[in-house]
Structure 1
Amino acid sequence: MNFAFEQPALLWALPLALLPLLPRRVRTVPISTLDHLAAAGRSWRTRLAALEPVVALATLLLLILALAGPVAFTENQRVIRRGIDLMLVLDISASMGAADIPPDRLSVARAAAAEFIAGRSNDRVGVVLFAGIPYLLAPPTLERAPLLARLAAIEPDRQGSGTAVGDALAAAAARLAGSDAASRAVILLTDGSNNRGHLTPVAAARAAAALGIRIYSIGYGTSSGAPVPLASPAPLLRESLHPEPLREIARLTGGRYFPASDASTLREVYRQIDALETSPLETRVERRATPLAPALALAAALLLGLELLLWRCWLRRVP
């Protein structure tokens, strides 16, 4: 705790508080002898009368200090975790219905994403889904319940409409472009290569990099691929992972590429991203000023009242 005065020049008046201690001329009444008073000793009224200069000194001292405007300052430090803005870009193309990661790729990806989102309580998180075209499931938000409910309801596209990775990245970057968050990042999860849309993934990554947005790309699946269930009567297709474009996307934006071929690996990937994208800490110092003048003035008033009551009325000298 620190102290300061609003009118420090008034402190020069503190020596005036010593005035009550200076010798004063006292009017006396001549009497023949004081021997009988000395034999009686000092009464409690006499002892109280001796305290009058001390009380007067304290009253003046408190009054001068109150007029000087003393203020007590207390400082509290608060550590605030500033949230970041994240967009999850999740592939829901037909290949995400493959059962090589039981019960199927999308179910495992959905559960891992939900666990990641629930753990980022300080961050705004949004989701873009994509197959042949991207669409916004939720903009960046702190509301977890509605976002997780929507995420739990998604299903893979059984029509085989393709995989528009570039357009999906561009849609996510556009959502983050106007953000004022301390950090912005996109997490892309896909199990296939770009075969639809207007933008290539590399072009979208360059645009994101220009906006200062990092992309973490997750290559989901295996290089051998898996049968893709499509709506009847379409035949089964086989989709295999092509990691090179995903590595390039991450490199261009300052992110990282992660392969994930099963549920445990995918959860570990999200844990690594969670560790990389830490929310920055901000220390705020709150300074609180407490005026002390009212308390000092009240104390001076009480002492003045005591002085008037005791030494000007009850113990008044009558020479």
Structure 2
Amino acid sequence: MLENITFANPQLFWLLLLLPLAVLWYFFKHKEETAALKISSTQGFTDTSILSKLKPILFVLRLLAMAAIITALARPQTKDVSTRTKTTKGIDIVMAIDVSSSMLARDLKPDRLTALKKVAADFIKKRPNDRIGLVAYAAESYTKTPITSDKSIVLSSLRQITHGQLEDGTAIGMGLATAVNRLKDSKSKSKVIILLTDGVNNSGFIEPKTAADLAVEYKIKTYTIGLGTNGNALTPIAFNPDRTYRYGMRQVEIDEKLLEEIATVTGGQYFRATDNEKLSAIYNEINKLEKTDIEEIKYTNFEEKFRPLILLAGILLLLEWIMRNTLFRSFI
């Protein structure tokens, strides 16, 4: 209970230094206030009353009353703080995800696409105040989910993204252009695209640089991520008779120069993710870079606790007055 007590005027506790001064004053003045009789011998005199020895209790009661009054003047109080948050500027984000067959490469565990979906889901959960949409692309692109504040819909759509829904290929320009189209009419003060690919632009009828110019025109910042290890990776290279993929080692080729250019002209950044940990760190970095402005309003309710101390001081002074005028009347 006491740990929740604060004092509005703690500087008044300096007045407690008056108490030891009062004790010193009482000690030196006590003999002057008590009548004395000088005789040659005290034989034959016996003190049958202990009241005279208890007389200092009156002074103790007065000191306790003074201490209570000083503490009350310091205004002990409890403080209850409640907060309310208000989003003042949300961010609209579209995640453009490459779903070409190379995203099944196993340099990330268990494969690139599965690892990406896990990290992207964590990223979405950390953006409760923003609207998020999904675009999937391979040789062509489509909007999986328009920008929405309903994270359950976005997460459900993310889980449904798989390879094979589109013709194989990597149309970076198409993926970026579709993402721009989802954001161009947004009224948000901040619009962001996170474009991820593991290859080079080899499909589609929209050039990546053209799509980047559109992003600039609509003031859409683009973060680009190149996904894949350095060197060779175990990648689908052909079909088995049962239509499953046959894997083989293949050189990882990412058009990093293009991705850096897209990020630079749109005001974003380019990242390279060579493993699961690096991919997760990249999304955490983007999460820190794109902060949503939150206004926090605090309400503080103070409850004053000085009244019991004033009551205690009054009781002590009353008790001292009653004892002084009854029990100790003959000794004062």
TM-score (normalised: structure 2): 0.59
Letter in 1 for 2:204: G
Residues 1:181 and 2:188 aligned together: yes
Distance 1:186 1:214 in 2: 6
Task: Give the deviation of 1:80 after TM superposition.
Answer: 3.2
Judged with a 3 Å threshold, the aligned counterparts in structure 2 of structure 1 residues 159 and 235 are, in CA distance, closer, same or farther, namely farther
Letter in 2 for 1:129: A
- What SS does the aligned partner of 1:199 have? coil
Distance 2:199 2:103 in 1: 9
Distance 1:158 1:100 in 2: 22
Equivalent residues in 2 for 1:46-125, closer than 5 Å: 79-125=86-132
Of 207, 224, 232, the match for 2:231? 224
Contact 2:85 2:296 in 1 (8 A): yes
Contact 1:219 1:260 in 2 (8 A): yes
Judged with a 3 Å threshold, the aligned counterparts in structure 2 of structure 1 residues 227 and 80 are, in CA distance, closer, same or farther, namely closer
Task: Give the deviation of 1:236 after TM superposition.
Answer: 5.3
Task: Give the deviation of 1:85 after TM superposition.
Answer: 0.2
Distance 2:233 2:247 in 1: 10
Task: Give the deviation of 1:81 after TM superposition.
Answer: 3.7
How many equivalent pairs are there?
A: 210
Residues 1:148 and 2:155 aligned together: yes
Distance 1:145 1:283 in 2: 26
TM-score (normalised: structure 1): 0.61
Structure 2 unaligned spans of 5+: 1-82, 298-332
Letter in 2 for 1:270: Y
Contact 1:81 1:122 in 2 (8 A): no
Distance 1:140 1:81 in 2: 18
- What SS does the aligned partner of 2:268 have? coil
> What corresponds to 1:275 in structure 2?
288
Judged with a 3 Å threshold, the aligned counterparts in structure 2 of structure 1 residues 159 and 168 are, in CA distance, closer, same or farther, namely closer
Contact 1:215 1:256 in 2 (8 A): yes
Letter in 2 for 1:98: A
Task: Give the deviation of 1:99 after TM superposition.
Answer: 1.0
Residues 1:207 and 2:220 aligned together: no
> What corresponds to 1:242 in structure 2?
255
Letter in 1 for 2:283: Y
Distance 1:129 1:187 in 2: 12
Of 276, 299, 302, the match for 1:263? 276
Superposed CA offset, 1:63-120 (max 9, x none): xxxxxxxxxxxxx997534211000000110000011111101000010111101110
Of 261, 267, 276, the match for 1:254? 267
- What SS does the aligned partner of 1:193 have? coil
Structure 1 unaligned spans of 5+: 1-75, 285-319
Distance 1:135 1:158 in 2: 10
Contact 1:82 1:282 in 2 (8 A): no
> What corresponds to 2:313 in structure 1?
none
Contact 1:94 1:160 in 2 (8 A): no
Letter in 2 for 1:96: M
Distance 2:235 2:166 in 1: 11
CA RMSD of aligned residues (A): 2.5
> What corresponds to 1:297 in structure 2?
none
Aligned identity (percent) is: 39
Task: Give the deviation of 1:200 after TM superposition.
Answer: 1.6
Equivalent residues in 2 for 1:131-170, closer than 5 Å: 131-157=138-164, 161-170=168-177
Superposed CA offset, 1:178-215 (max 9, x none): 00011001001110011000112121111101110000
- What SS does the aligned partner of 1:196 have? coil
Residues 1:172 and 2:172 aligned together: no
Letter in 2 for 1:166: G
Letter in 1 for 2:291: T
